[in-house]
Amino acid sequence: MGEFVTLAIMKDHADLTRHELVALVIELEAKAAANAVEQNRHSEALRDSEARLRAILQTAVEGIITIDDHGLIESLNPAAEKIFGYAVAEVIGQNVKVLMPEPYRHEHDGYLANYHHTGHAQIIGIGREVTGRRKDGTEFPMDLSVNEVKLADRRIFAGFVRDISQHKAAEKALLHYAALVESSDDAIIGKTLDGFITSWNRGAETIFGYQSEEAVGKPITLIIPPDRKQEEDAILSKIRRGESVEHYETVRRRKDGKAVDISVTISPIREPGGNIIGASKVARTISERKRLQNEILEISEREQRRIGNDLHDGLCQELAGIELMCQVLEQKLAARSKVESAQAGEIARHIREAISHTRKLSRGLSPVELQTNGLMSALHELTSNVQERFGIQCRLECPEAVLIRNHAFATHLFRIVQEAINNALKHGKAGQILVSLKPIAGKVNLTVADNGLGFKNDSPHGKGMGLHIMKYRAAMMDAAMEVHSAPGTGTTVTCIFGKNL
């Protein structure tokens, strides 16, 4: 036993466990009750051990309270004073229930009497969470462990108390945030830096069709179409560098195989030390928004086609009738007045020019060649008209046939080129425009390059509605679009899409 005391004394105070403290108290009390000869021989060691014990109790992080078998407080260490807000002198000799709120305060004496009578302990030797009461009346959660110490002539109880208010508050906040995540309609997904799913909320279950147990532990490629896997590699590379990806629109795959359009924001997950250990992905389905936006574009296209057809079939026909009347008038006036006949002929010529311009305008609103000879023919007619009308070099390069089966997609591509040419003429003051349609590496590259003034990326021209609509049209086809420009170097618009459109 003396070896145990020596070992306990050599330990740092903070390293002693509750059981070691109880054992040390019992050892010291036993030595105090030894016979007088042994007390004299070991009195110096006992005094030293007692001083060490007091130092341990004074510096312990946990609150330590001792009571007698009647529940009266015998000691309170500084940590317990801080926890309960009492000074030692205020509680020594008082019943320990002064530190308890109701109903524990009212029931405590009964618990103690029951233990004395039956020996059955409800808390002694068992740590549990209870509620304490401070001097100011406030209640707080605490972790309590009680040990019984049997001395030579009596027994005492030592209570070890730890205030867990902050822990409970953090736990409550964590549960609150967990409830928010779980109830979100957005998919909130956690994944490792290797791309394995670590968490999967109900929103993810709804959007992607997989239950949590089907997704957690699986690679994130579970919901990524094969032709989109390079996106994930690029995203994870950014996450490893500490970068975020915000409002990125892409396509993912449901359990049933159907594609779903999503807008996703991905952020790094850092541990307390700052190291990046994973990524948090928040995905929102935008399929309905895409559908509505596509409907709006389709309505706009239909309206443009209607206006184009009205110009072509209505106004042009009426102008043609007027031209014919002028020609008849020219013939009638020829025998009477050559001057008046020539004027009538001039009027007819202007009407023919108006008919030609109107037909070109109607063709721009409704590119009928798009429905018959395909995108290549429509672009050829567009570039020829621009060159003839504006007197600049504007031509199409298309070394081999590129057939677009989807009329809606072909229309989107035509409108992108049309908008790029308009921007080159209106803002760039270009003298040369080259439209290129070429298959490259299994895809098709559509490029509109001009030698105009160019612009800075942060200029109004670089953020206009026209460019925004062009990018949206590209997104509707799942195509990649880029705009490169700088002052004095012209502008290049590139749209890359798959051959199977």
pLDDT attached to residue 92: 92
pLDDT, tens digit, 9 for 90 and up, residues 449-462: 999 988 876 555 55
User: The tokens of 81 are what?
Assistant: 């004073």
CB atoms within 10 A of CB 288: 9
Residue 370: its pLDDT value, please? 58
Confidence at residue 146, expressed as pLDDT on a 0 to 100 scale: 84
Residue 24, pLDDT score: 61
pLDDT value at residue 2 = 39
Cα–Cα distances (Å) from 224 to 82, 254, 261, 309, 498, in that order, read 56, 9, 11, 43, 18
Q: What is the pLDDT of residues 334-352, one digit of tens each?
A: 888 888 888 888 998 898 8
pTM above 0.75, yes or no: no
**Is the separation of the CB atoms in 277 and 193 below 8 Å?**
yes
Tell me the pLDDT tens digit for each residue of 295-308: 777 777 777 778 87
DSSP type of residue 363: H
pLDDT at 9 (0 to 100) = 38
Going residue by residue through the chain, which has 501 residues, state the pLDDT in tens, using 9 for 90 and above: 333 333 333 344 445 556 666 666 566 555 555 554 455 555 666 566 666 667 777 778 889 998 888 889 998 999 999 999 999 999 999 998 889 888 777 766 666 666 666 655 555 656 788 899 999 999 999 998 888 877 777 888 888 999 999 888 888 888 888 788 888 889 999 999 999 999 999 999 999 999 999 999 999 999 998 888 888 888 889 999 999 988 888 889 999 999 898 999 999 999 888 899 999 999 999 888 777 777 777 777 777 778 877 787 778 888 888 888 888 888 888 888 888 888 888 998 898 888 888 877 877 776 655 555 678 888 998 899 889 888 999 999 998 888 888 877 888 899 899 899 988 998 889 999 999 999 888 889 999 999 998 887 655 555 566 788 888 888 878 888 899 988 888 999 999 988 666
Separation of alpha carbons 210 and 263, rounded Å? 19
Q: Are 230 and 215 in contact (CB under 8 A)?
A: no
pLDDT of residue 184: 87
pLDDT at 218: 94
Phi, psi of 135 (to 5 degrees): -60, -35
CA 405 to chain centre: 37
DSSP letters, 267-335, are EEEE-TTS-EEEEEEEEEE-HHHHHHHHHHHHHHHHHHHHHHHIIIIIIHHHHHHHHHHHHHHHHHHHT
Cβ neighbours of residue 491 under 8 Å, at least 6 residues apart? 420, 423, 424, 428, 449, 450, 452, 454, 455, 483, 484, 485
Q: Give the bridge partners for 482, in sequence order.
A: 494
